[in-house]
Chain A
Amino acid sequence: MKSFITQRLLGGKSGAIGFLIISALILVVFPLFLDLFRLNLVGKYLTYAFVAVGLVLLWGYVGILSLGQGVFFGLGGYCMAMFLKLEASSPENTAIQSTPGIPDFMDWNQITELPWFWEPFSSFGFTLLAILVIPALFAFIIGVAMFKRRVGGVYFAIITQAIALILTVLIVGQQGYTGGINGITDLRTLNGWDIRDDSAKYILYFVNAFLLLACVVLVRYLMTGKFGRLLLAMKDKEDRVRFSGYDVSNFKIFIFCVAAMISAIGGAMFTLQVGFMSPSFVGIVPSIEMVIFAAVGGRMSVIGAVYGALFVSFGKTFFSESMPEVWLYLMGALFIAVVMFFPNGLAGVYDKYKGKLFSLLNRKKTGTPQDKVEPSTKSNVVAEPDKASLSVDDAHSEKSTS
């Protein structure tokens, strides 16, 4: 049982250390040292980290680059926003409207009746289910259409990007049903619980953090078993896997759905913490930003993705506050730098210097020059840039030698 937890869920010893550090950072350090405004910002960044974690699974492990993950983030976010909006639009709250009891933007657009697809979102249970099922279903349809026809690579990236654009246009165009370009705003309570007050912000931050860590563990679990090895095998020699009796497209569809669901959880948590949802989190720009998060963090590292999302978002906020015009250029430069010099992102840098770091620490502690950390198991991984590192690989090598 113990070995199941360390090997399968945490990704071996080094994976467990990484997991502990990120947990401590998110659950202890940030809440202790940041004021509520900043903590809420971090909470928002962490919702992007869900998408980045999904992208690590999809892009890092399976090699499918989706430039439309914002779609799933948005679907999750909109589902949650619809529920909250309906609750905020009680007949008493909306008494001044010509049709009380429907969301304000519908009233402004001369809609006099709640559209049928809004109806079920008055149920919290349905909404929670919808947050997971609708994006998964959407991903499934796209996945079947693409992967069964063996569409991949650049074509898949372009098509997903087009889907992101189409969905944005649809949301903006159908103002009366979706809130248009402004999105769904003025969200107040969740089952009567005011999500805008300070205690709610703290609670939502922690719920978000736990869900994110749970997603990290889920991805780790998937990646450390035969399933994960199969994905690595598929990335290496897809034909060999196919001619070993596996239906490769089913695996891709499944991973695409899982990544979509993880992104959608992030979207729903975004809506709860930020208090609105708008098409600007669905389209091409956010979708590409999320890819940059994953790339900066290291596309083969689940935990790296969290750091990537935090790091880049911090940068964005910092520079947008001081020199807004510089940010876009900086982000472009950052992406180029990562691709050219750090193909494995922050995680790759960490892995490269981890051996040195630990041996330095050990030397200080024990006073002996021999390092007890096994850098040799790492070095062959670091030597080849495409082999991309990381904790999951660790789990393999540790397991196979056990």
Chain B
Amino acid sequence: MSSNTDFVLAVEDLTVSFDGFKAVNGLTFYLDKDEVRVVIGPNGAGKTTVLDLICGKTRATSGSIKFKGHELTKLSEHKIVRAGVGRKFQTPSIYENLSVFENLEISYPAGRGVFGSIAFKRTAEVDTRVNEVAGDIFLSDLLDMEAGLLSHGQKQWLEIGMLLIQDPELLMLDEPVAGMSVKEREQTAELLNRICKGRSVLVIEHDMDFVARIAHKVTVLHQGQILAEGSMESVQNDPKVIEVYLGH
């Protein structure tokens, strides 16, 4: 067991209550460096809420979230992002009216203040980085296309790219392969295995084949609490998990 500071993310005793309903209840888990963790669980288990809590969209009622030893629960959203946490939303959240290039450029971590963004120049460095990321997410040929015209799967990739360009140390993906074709799922799994080098990834996903392909470790959430945690196999054979998934 390594010491607390070695974890990239340490969530301890995290609870959030919406008018008395505890969506997340005393949750504790740790995420290692370079780890790909997948969170699964039935609908309403609190998976998305956990991501909301980590990225600051929802405020915790109690408990702590430490990112590289720094407390996140009191930070504002943009500061959490700047600390190195990137988050993809469940439905692809991209800027439909802007081109793929501009989507990535806006996500490039420079000129983030009001005056900084006015003074921002499209330097060769920005250009190179955008092209590099576009290559990673299979969109090199579509840089000039209006993002709203991309296919659903491509939009998912674009949003992942918008996070990648910020080079976050913790990448959180909410259902990255939802609505993707089989081939796109394979490509996405390959993409994730490629980009998890040097960073930790926290994924919410329902597609078990996909989970098996990427997960180092799986956490099963149920009613805001951890039901099981471990390798994919051990979780799949856990009677409690089977009960939750099949029993209802």
Contact = CB atoms under 8 A, between A and B. Distances in A.
Interface of A: 222, 225-227, 229-230, 232-233, 236-237, 239-248, 250-251, 254, 380, 387, 393, 396-397, 400-401
A242 B113 contact: no
A243 B106 contact: no
Interface stretch (B10-18, B60-68, B93-101, B133-141): B93-101
18 contacts: A222-B118, A225-B118, A225-B120, A229-B102, A232-B95, A233-B95, A236-B96, A237-B93, A240-B93, A240-B94, A240-B162, A244-B107, A246-B117, A247-B113, A380-B146, A393-B97, A397-B99, A400-B144
A397 to B, nearest CB: 8
Contacts of B118: 222, 225-227
Interface string B112-140: 11100110101000000000000000000
B93 A239 contact: yes
Contacts of A396: 98-99, 102
Contacts of B114: 227, 250-251, 254
User: What are the nearest 8 A-B pairs in CB distance?
Assistant: A245-B81, A226-B120, A233-B95, A240-B93, A400-B99, A227-B117, A254-B114, A227-B118
B89 interface: yes
B99 A237 contact: no
Contacts of B57: 239, 243
B213 interface: no
Highest count of chain B CB atoms <10 Å: which of A225, A393, A400: A400
Main secondary structure of the interface of B (DSSP, over half): mixed
A246 B120 CA distance: 14
A251 B166 CA distance: 20
Contacts of A227: 114, 117-118, 120
Nearest to B159: A240
B76 interface: yes
Contacts of A236: 95-97
A62 B36 CA distance: 38
Nearest to B100: A400
Contact of A229 (B55, B98, B162): B98
Contacts of A226: 105-106, 111, 117-118, 120, 122
B86 to A, nearest CB: 8
B77 interface: yes
Contacts of B112: 245-247
Q: At the interface, is chain A mostly helix, strand, loop or mixed?
A: helix
B97, B102, B162, most chain A CB atoms within 10 A: B97
Contact of B78 (A245, A254, A380): A245
Contacts of B77: 242-243
Given A242-B78, A245-B81, A246-B78, A230 B93 contact: no
A244 B162 contact: yes
B109 interface: yes
Interface bracket on B: 35 or more
A72 to B, nearest CB: 19
A386 to B, nearest CB: 9
Contacts of B94: 237, 240
A239 B89 contact: yes
Contacts of B159: 240
A172 B103 CA distance: 50
Among B57, B77, B105, B114, find the residue whose CB has the most chain A CB atoms closer than 10 A.
B114
B217 interface: no
B99 to A, nearest CB: 4
Contacts of A237: 93-95
Contacts of B98: 229, 232-233, 396
A86 B15 CA distance: 63
B89 A240 contact: yes
Nearest to A241: B106
A397 B100 CA distance: 12
Given A227-B120, A229-B102, 20 more contacts: A222-B118, A225-B118, A226-B106, A227-B117, A229-B98, A232-B98, A233-B95, A236-B95, A237-B95, A240-B89, A242-B81, A243-B55, A243-B87, A244-B81, A244-B106, A244-B107, A245-B166, A380-B146, A400-B99, A400-B101
Nearest to B96: A236
Interface in B195-244: none
A343 to B, nearest CB: 16
Given A240-B93, A251-B114, A254-B114, A401 B106 contact: no
Contacts of B166: 244-245
Contacts of B99: 396-397, 400
Nearest to A234: B95
A333 B103 CA distance: 40
B70 interface: no
A69 B120 CA distance: 29
Contacts of A254: 114
Given A230-B117, A250-B114, A251-B114, A400 B81 contact: no
Contacts of A232: 95, 97-98
A251 B111 CA distance: 12
Nearest to A233: B95
Contacts of A400: 99, 101-102, 144
Nearest to B93: A240
